[in-house]
Amino acid sequence: MILILSLACASREDDPEVAAVLDLEGLASQGAPLYAENCSTCHGEDASGLDRGPDLRNFTAAGEPRYVEQVLYGTGYSMPGFRQTLADQEIADIVAWLHEQ
């Protein structure tokens, strides 16, 4: 955890919503259908990427605050934010599933 916090940019782990998601324990089995429904059209069914979205399989613990922030708020470019449509627990579940890819 210290490693994650020290590698992450301050604004990210300080964000209460990012911190709330990171505090939850995700369930990959719950995340799989949520990923398929919300993310696979752009990132591919197996998260290996499509021309609409990058490969997400290099998902690492150190990058997690940044990834969670992008899922919550969107990237500001092509990817929408999901904080209005997905619960914190659902995002944690998707993250757990991504770790297994």
Smallest gap from Cβ 38 to ligand HEC, in A, equals 4
Smallest gap from Cβ 4 to ligand HEC, in A, equals 15
**Using an 8 Å Cβ cutoff, are 9 and 66 in contact?**
yes
Which positions touch ligand HEC (CB under 6 A)?
A: 38-39, 41-43, 52-54, 56, 67, 70-71, 75, 77-79, 82, 94
Smallest gap from Cβ 75 to ligand HEC, in A, equals 3
Phi, psi (deg, nearest 5) at residue 8: -85, 150
The two three-digit tokens of residue 59, written as one number: 């998902």
Q: Which amino acid is at 13?
A: E
